[in-house]
């Protein structure tokens, strides 16, 4: 079918050329990061475990489904992820000793508690991915967005025993306040920014110690398979190439590699092998810290956050003085 | 600015699905299924026999493979016709060579357009699925239930006259549905359908007129999706099919019988430069141990036991 534009209506308020969430901070000559155990790369896998509604209320800015109600194809392939794909991916990660960092649609705790329990039983991390992936941030008032963020955090805490530390906004839909509100709710890291290969401080209005953890759009299976329409074996090769370079560069200062996955994409029978080969390759290297988003965030905050801020300030001053 | 409070209400936020059509169930928790002769993998090949009208209305959208140019779009019209005149005979030869028994999803309009082809399919005795009227007669919410019911009736009547049998399986044109399609299909005697792609095994699907069975016919692995939508190479399609075959065979040896479903379009795979790739894939699959070439009704019968 014809591809329909996802944007239906433009932002109604004033727009800004930059939200000033972070300062320019060149990749070279930063304070050196060394990950735990002397590792040079922090590697994490972020399975998105999502619930898409068959008939969500219409958002004024973005259509949830390309086809008119009911979009059987779009809805059912995502349901496939939970019915069929999740278990396959979880067992694969088990084999490589990888604990997933789950980007969780909070309502999935209510819809499919056994999936959440299976991940919790493996000591996986859960970070917030909103309530449903069919409820966008666009158009919400500040009060509404805060309520949505708190609802998701409370729900995840109630079902997993731990309050989420990270946020990937639902369907990557944001407002200008998203980071501020999440930091105020007690969150410490965002996955929504793709400006760097290392953790970086993010400026929020409340001044909380808040950071971005590299999550990678390019390595995201849905971006690779659906948007960029990449062949499965090439996706596997891209993952290995991405690792090779970040691993090499991590020798001078620790890098972060993330593979964001979706159980309805990677776990299809014709695709799982590509991920399996990449995981085998990556975890077969020395000096790889196989970890979670929360652990990377905590380690960075405890060891490098202050030095990063100082370095950023110094480099801005040098640039101003030049 | 704020959204309507409805936007933060979640009326279906509860255990299971957000609708009542089927039960929530994870594949790995189900009872194992056994195929005949100790086979691990059932191979279900389905061939779409389709008519794309030149005067496409495109309501509510043009079906994948439909006309894209101003009227009369003879290039796409005739290229789709190619499948029923030329391409399908290459496919049939390949199936015979490897001893395979595909099903055929046939648009009702094809009975009148190609009686010779219908007679060939009838003599082969392959299972026939109703595939709606034509590729520009989509089932969608804009149709009144009576209109949609008439469309289903017309499609089934045409196939019944052409093949002399009742048809119990359904694949919607473009796999599209209205909110009523499953109810109307069940009312008209359809027993199973293959529009939903949320599973790899058959499952029960509720309707207002008794249960249907949903049969798994992969969209992600079909020729049109991989070659035409994703623009992957033919070689890659073969790799993907073979990788899926390997994966499912492996899973089947520890879990349960599995199904490898291949949905094919003669207008695409029947081209001279592509047919050899289909043959490669079929050669690979059929040379694996424990693969059973099955019709959808045979698969369903065993899963219902």
- The Cα of B206 is separated from the nearest Cα of chain A by a number of Å equal to 15
Q: Is the pLDDT of residue A11 over 90?
A: no
Position A319 confidence tier, pLDDT thresholds 50, 70, 90 = confident
Contact assignment for A67 to B12 by CB distance below 8 Å: no
Average pLDDT, stretch B260-270?
98
3-state secondary structure A57-87: CCCCCECCCCCCCCCHHHHHHHHHHHHHHHH
Domains of chain B in sequence order: 35-304 (3.20.20.370)
pLDDT the model gives residue B129: 98
Q: Does B273 touch chain A (CB under 8 A)?
A: no
A1, A95, A170, best to mutate vs chain B, most B CBs in 10 Å: A1
Q: Which residue of A lies nearest to B225 if distances are taken between CA atoms?
A: A229
| Interface touch B8/A148, C-beta < 8 Å | yes
List beta partners, residue A290: A43
Contact A262, A105 (CB under 8 A): no
C-alpha–C-alpha distance, residues A155 and A164, integer Å: 10
Confidence of residue A7 (pLDDT cuts 50, 70, 90): low
d(CA A187, CA A136): 19
Searching chain A, which residue's CA lies closest to the CA of residue B61? A1
Calpha distance B70→B77 (Å, rounded): 12
Cβ of B288 under 8 Å from any chain A Cβ?
A: no
Residues of chain B with pLDDT > 90, as a percent, come to 98
**Could you tell me where the beta strands, DSSP code E, fall in A213-286?**
255-262
For chain A, positions 179-208, list CB contacts with chain B under 8 A: none
ipTM for the complex shown: 0.97
B175 neighbourhood in chain A, CB within 8 Å: 72-73
CB contact under 8 A, B19 and A69: no
Quickly tell me which residue has 């082809």 as its tokens: B117
User: Closest Cα to residue A275, out of B24, B295, B243?
Assistant: B243
Cβ distance of B229 and A68 shorter than 8 Å: no
CB contact A27 to B (< 8 Å) = no
Q: Which of residues 117-176 of A touch B (CB under 8 A)?
A: 131-132, 135, 139-141, 143-144, 147-148, 151
Cβ of residue A72 closer than 8 Å to a chain B Cβ: yes
Q: In B, which residues are within 8 Å of A59 by CB distance?
A: 3, 7
List the single residue in A with minimal CA-CA distance to B24.
Answer: A83
A200-201 and A211-212 strand pairing: antiparallel
Instruction: At A7, list the tokens.
Output: 């944007």
Write out the two tokens for A234: 């090439």
The CA–CA distances, whole Å, from A203 to A29, A177, A199, B270 equal: 22, 11, 13, 58
Task: Give yes or no for a contact between B296 and B215, defined as CB atoms under 8 angstroms apart.
Answer: yes
Per-residue pLDDT reduced to its tens digit, B209-225: 999 999 999 999 999 99
In this complex, the residue of B13, B220, B246 whose CB is nearest that of residue A107 is B13
Q: Does A11 touch chain B (CB under 8 A)?
A: no
* Per-residue CA distances from B303 to B169, B199, B219, B296 (Å): 15, 13, 21, 11
Residue A10 pLDDT class (50, 70, 90 cuts): low
Chain A residues with beta carbon closer than 8 angstroms to that of B8: 135, 144, 147-148, 151
pLDDT at A4 over 90: no
Chain B contact probe: residue of A269, A272, A276 with most B CBs at under 10 A: A269
The SS3 of residue A268 is: coil
The helix/strand/coil state of A39 is strand
Interface contacts A/B by beta carbons within 8 Å = 158
DSSP-assigned beta bridge partners for residue B46: B103, B263
What chain A holds in terms of domains, given with CATH numbers, is: 36-321 (3.20.20.370)
- List of chain B residues whose C-beta atoms are within 8 Å of the C-beta of residue A147: 8
- Looking up tokens 């990749």 gives A27
> Predicted confidence band at B305 (pLDDT cuts at 50, 70, 90)?
confident
Interface of B with A in 98-157 (CB under 8 A): 140-142
Contact A212, A178 (CB under 8 A): no
Question: pLDDT digit string (tens) for A155-207?
Answer: 999 999 999 999 999 999 999 999 999 999 999 999 999 999 999 999 999 99
Transcribe B6-60 into DSSP letters.
GGG--TT-SSS-SSSSS----GGGSPP---GGG-SEEEEEEEEE----TT---SS
Neighbouring CB atoms inside 10 A of A306's CB total 13
Own/partner long-range contacts of A214-217 (Cβ < 8 Å, ≥24 apart)? A214/A256, A214/A257, A214/A258, A215/A46, A215/A168, A215/A191, A215/A258, A215/A260, A215/A293, A216/A242, A216/A257, A216/A258, A216/A259, A216/A260
Would you state the pLDDT for residue A321?
78
CB contact under 8 A, B230 and A55: no
Per-residue pLDDT, A1: 39
DSSP string across A46-60: EEEE----SSPPPPS
> CA of B59: which chain A residue's CA is closest?
A68
């Amino acid at each position: 079918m014809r591809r329909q534009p996802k944007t239906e209506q433009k932002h109604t308020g004033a727009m800004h050329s930059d939200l000033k969430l972070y300062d320019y901070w060149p990749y070279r000559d930063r304070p050196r990061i060394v990950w735990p155990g002397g590792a040079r790369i922090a590697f994490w896998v972020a399975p998105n475990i999502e619930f898409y509604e068959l008939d969500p209320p219409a958002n004024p800015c973005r259509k949830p489904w390309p086809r008119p109600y009911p979009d059987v194809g779009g809805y059912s392939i995502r349901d496939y992820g939970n019915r069929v794909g999740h278990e396959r991916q979880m067992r694969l990660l088990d084999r490589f000793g990888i604990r997933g960092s789950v980007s969780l649609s909070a309502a999935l705790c209510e819809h499919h508690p056994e999936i959440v329990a299976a991940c919790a039983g493996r000591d996986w991390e859960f970070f917030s991915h909103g309530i449903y992936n069919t409820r966008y941030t666009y158009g919400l008032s500040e009060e509404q967005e805060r309520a949505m963020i708190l609802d998701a955090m409370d729900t995840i805490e109630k079902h997993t025993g731990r309050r989420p530390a990270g946020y990937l906004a639902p369907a990557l839909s944001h407002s200008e306040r998203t980071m501020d509100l999440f930091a105020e709710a007690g969150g410490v890291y965002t996955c929504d920014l793709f400006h760097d290969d290392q953790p970086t401080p993010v400026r929020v209005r409340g001044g909380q110690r808040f950071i971005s953890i590299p999550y990678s759009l390019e390595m995201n299976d849905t971006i690779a398979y659906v948007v960029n329409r990449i062949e499965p074996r090439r996706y596997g090769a891209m993952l290995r190439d991405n690792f090779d370079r970040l691993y090499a560069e991590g020798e001078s200062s620790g890098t972060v590699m993330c593979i964001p996955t979706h159980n309805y994409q990677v776990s299809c029978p014709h695709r799982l092998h590509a991920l399996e080969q990449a995981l085998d390759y990556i975890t077969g290297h020395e000096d790889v810290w196989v970890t979670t988003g929360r652990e990377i965030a905590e380690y960075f905050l405890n060891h490098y956050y202050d030095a990063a801020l100082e370095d950023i300030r110094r480099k801005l001053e040098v640039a101003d003085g030049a | 600015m704020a959204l309507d409070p409805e936007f933060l209400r979640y009326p279906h936020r509860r255990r299971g699905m957000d609708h009542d059509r089927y039960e929530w169930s994870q594949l790995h928790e189900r009872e194992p299924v056994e195929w005949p002769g100790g086979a691990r993998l059932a191979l279900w090949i389905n061939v779409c026999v389709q008519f794309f009208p030149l005067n496409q209305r495109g309501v509510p959208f043009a079906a994948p493979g439909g006309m894209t140019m101003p009227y009369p779009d003879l290039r796409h019209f005739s290229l789709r016709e190619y499948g029923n005149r030329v391409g399908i005979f290459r496919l049939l030869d390949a199936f015979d060579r490897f001893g395979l028994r595909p099903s055929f999803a046939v648009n009702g309009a094809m009975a009148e357009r190609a009686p010779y082809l219908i007679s060939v399919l009838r003599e082969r005795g392959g299972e026939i699925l109703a595939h709606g009227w034509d590729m520009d007669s989509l089932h969608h919410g804009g149709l009144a239930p009576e209109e949609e019911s008439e469309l289903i009736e017309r499609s089934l009547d045409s196939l019944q006259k052409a093949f002399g049998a009742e048809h119990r399986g359904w694949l919607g044109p473009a796999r599209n549905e209205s909110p009523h399609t499953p109810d109307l299909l069940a009312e008209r005697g359809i027993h199973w359908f293959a529009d939903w792609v949320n599973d790899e095994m058959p499952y029960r699907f509720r309707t207002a007129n008794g249960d249907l069975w949903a049969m798994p016919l992969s969209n992600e692995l079909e020729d049109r999706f991989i070659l035409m939508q994703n623009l992957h190479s033919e070689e890659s399609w073969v790799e993907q099919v073979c990788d899926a075959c390997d994966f499912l065979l492996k899973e089947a040896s520890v879990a349960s019988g599995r199904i490898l479903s291949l949905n094919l379009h003669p207008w695409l795979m029947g081209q001279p430069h592509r047919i050899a790739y289909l043959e490669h894939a079929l050669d690979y699959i059929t040379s694996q141990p424990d693969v059973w070439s099955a019709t959808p009704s045979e698969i369903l019968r065993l899963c219902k036991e």
